[in-house]
Structure 1
């Protein structure tokens, strides 16, 4: 049973790293977020972009971390999405 669990975990890790291959992570500085609802609005705008797999927005640091498929979305599309939602953003870091 222990070998079966170990094999399952190894397979899952291999599959998840294969899925993550080719994805990029960008950190955006998001301006003029001034309430607790703002990050929700920014996150939803980012998640509407095809190719975005996750968007985490932090009110305290005024930053968004977005994981996306560069074959389907661009950094410009991400910053345009936040701007269209009323929150200008600029790239802090791309990985």
Structure 2
């Protein structure tokens, strides 16, 4: 009986987390201005496969960032953000403060 109760509780928790993730993703897709821009950054100091996680998290903490993908092999980040809430300078400052200096790709 205990196993069934635990299973039902875990199933309910999983369902709640899926709903929360869905709501969160929908909120991220909307911006205050309704406009997004995408920028590519060259990122320095990434020396292992876990470094991109730290870079991505630093970028995602910047207000206005909708998404951030970081690639270890190319040492690059692609960031989609609301230009009325964030600037490229905000993005490069965030990565630099995390120990990974970056600059806009030309």
TM above 0.5: yes
C-alpha separation in 2, matches of 1:49 and 1:89: 15
Structure 2: gaps of 5 or more residues: 1-29
Pick aligned residue for 1:36 from 36, 46, 49: 49
Q: Would you identify which runs of 4 or more consecutive aligned residues in structure 1 move more than 4 Å?
A: none
Based on CA coordinates, which of the two structures has the bigger radius of gyration?
2
Superposition TM-score, scaled by structure 2 size: 0.67
Question: Secondary structure at 1:53's aligned position in 2?
Answer: strand
Structure having the higher strand fraction is 1
Superposition TM-score, scaled by structure 1 size: 0.75
Structure 1: gaps of 5 or more residues: 1-18
